[in-house]
Amino acid sequence: MDGAASFCGSFCHNIPSICDSALLRVLLVTLSLLCADVEALQVIGGSVTVEQGSTAILSCHVIDTNDDLTQITWQRKTREKPHNDNFLTILPREGAQFVNGGDDRFKYIGNFNNKNGTLQFSSVALKDEGSYTCIFTLFPSGNQKTEIPLNLLGIKKTFYLKYSGCLRVRQSYFHHVACMLTDCVL
């Protein structure tokens, strides 16, 4: 008797009810269903980093589903609005509609039929930094969402500081100094 047969024989000897062929078939079918490859839907987003004053693309789409899309909702939690705030709803016939007042900096550039909720966000300001959530309402599976962190980089500027005069470096010594923000020349 090989190892597998030995194990099965001793297993069936200890628990005879499992060895009934009908029960064994049910167990095998259940195990095969649990182990089967099941495609799960995914909501795709990602972190976005832009410079202040530029345009951000908040990409969001759902894949691997045949469910019906009934609505896309956008929420934000930012420096200016620290509590989760619904600000945009996208419907199949009506298109994009702002909630609680519009913001012309947002433009819906996705495609509802392709389950794409992507937004273009222009003139991004420091107050807009935070977390944006894209929520797909699907039938019959329900709401599926992804969070998109928006990070801002400061505007690059060059400053020059010019100083002419005497600077006391050590006791009784005087040096002329010229300084820039990043360099100091003695």
Rounded Cα gap, residues 99 and 119, in angstroms:
15
pLDDT given at position 33: 40
Burial class (CB in 10 A: 0-12, 13-18, 19+), 23: exposed
Domain edges within the chain: 3-35, 42-153
Percent of the chain at pLDDT > 90 equals 56
Residue 34: pLDDT band with limits 50, 70, 90: very low
pLDDT given at position 84: 92
Rg, Å, the chain Cα set: 31
The CATH H-level (homologous superfamily) assignment of domain 42-153 is Immunoglobulins (2.60.40.10)
Instruction: State both tokens at 1.
Output: 């008797």
Residue 167: pLDDT band with limits 50, 70, 90: low
Question: At a CB cut-off of 8 Å and minimum separation 6, what does 150 contact?
Answer: 48, 49, 50, 56, 58, 78, 121, 124, 128, 129, 130, 131, 132
The residue assigned the tokens 């908040």 is 58
At 94-146, the pLDDT tens digits run: 999 999 889 999 999 999 999 999 999 999 999 999 999 999 999 999 999 99
Rounded Cα gap, residues 146 and 89, in angstroms:
15
pLDDT given at position 139: 96
Q: Above 90 in pLDDT, residue 88?
A: yes
